[in-house]
Amino acid sequence: MNGPGTMWNHAAEKWSEVSAQISDDDWAKATTCGDWTVRELVDHAMHWQAMGGGALGASTSPGDEWSTVQPALGAALHDPANLEGNTEAFGGMPKQGVVGLLIGDLLIHSWDLARSIGADDTLPAEAVESTLMGLQRLPEKMLRGETMFGPAIEVGDDASAQDKLLGFVGRQP
């Protein structure tokens, strides 16, 4: 299995692919993510990627555009020193955990965005499997509620890893 930098790059490539397809008419569209519009979804994703990047040694901060966040965070995640220890910006969470959350956030919101604008919603398989395993290890109390995910949606045992991830985070695959 690849390391966190590579996994994040897979998720980032999917985000880039989908977000490049946003048209001027798409920004006000509703999304699969609560009451958010496409604009609000993109702003949310960029906020967390930039904030996470700053906590992991990238020269990013909330308000940065994807064209700034992607190369800076991608490079930072390939320096093992940036993945050691904990970060106060995420409540003292281990930096490895922050990377996992950033990957998951980017994957899930790539799917949300793709569904909202009619783009291909197929996510990178290895990143999906890794993210699902990581999320399943977190305490339910941390996962469910207003800040992260709603209730899980059951999917069949024979469902794809992507559908299992989506159901786990409360999306209807």
pLDDT digits (tens, 9 = 90+) for 69-79: 999 999 999 99
Would the pTM of this model clear 0.85, i.e. be above it? Answer: yes
- Residue 67 is assigned to a structural domain of this protein: yes
| pLDDT for residue 148 is more than 80 | no
- Residue 118 is assigned to a structural domain of this protein: yes
Tokens 């990143």 belong to residue: 127
For residue 147, what pLDDT is reported?
Answer: 67
**Cα 41 to Cα 28, 30, 44, 106, 141, distances in angstroms:** 10, 9, 5, 11, 24
Q: For residues 39 and 29, what is the distance between their CA atoms, to the nearest angstrom?
A: 8
- Residue 136 is assigned to a structural domain of this protein: no
Q: For residues 37 and 39, what is the distance between their CA atoms, to the nearest angstrom?
A: 5
- Residue 58 is assigned to a structural domain of this protein: yes
- Residue 156 is assigned to a structural domain of this protein: no
Query: CATH number for the domain including 102?
Result: 1.20.120.450
| pLDDT for residue 128 is more than 80 | yes
Tokens 């990581």 belong to residue: 134
Q: In 3D, which of 90, 97, 126 has the Cα closest to residue 11?
A: 126
- The angle that helices 161-168 and 125-136 make with each other, rounded to 10 degrees, is 40
| pLDDT for residue 145 is more than 80 | no
- Contact (Cβ atoms closer than 8 angstroms) between residue 113 and residue 38: yes
Domain total in the chain: 1
pLDDT (tens digit per residue) in 45-76: 999 999 999 999 999 999 999 999 999 999 99
For 133, the token pair is 């395993």
- Residue 167 is assigned to a structural domain of this protein: no
Domain span holding position 118: 4-123
- Residue 11 is assigned to a structural domain of this protein: yes
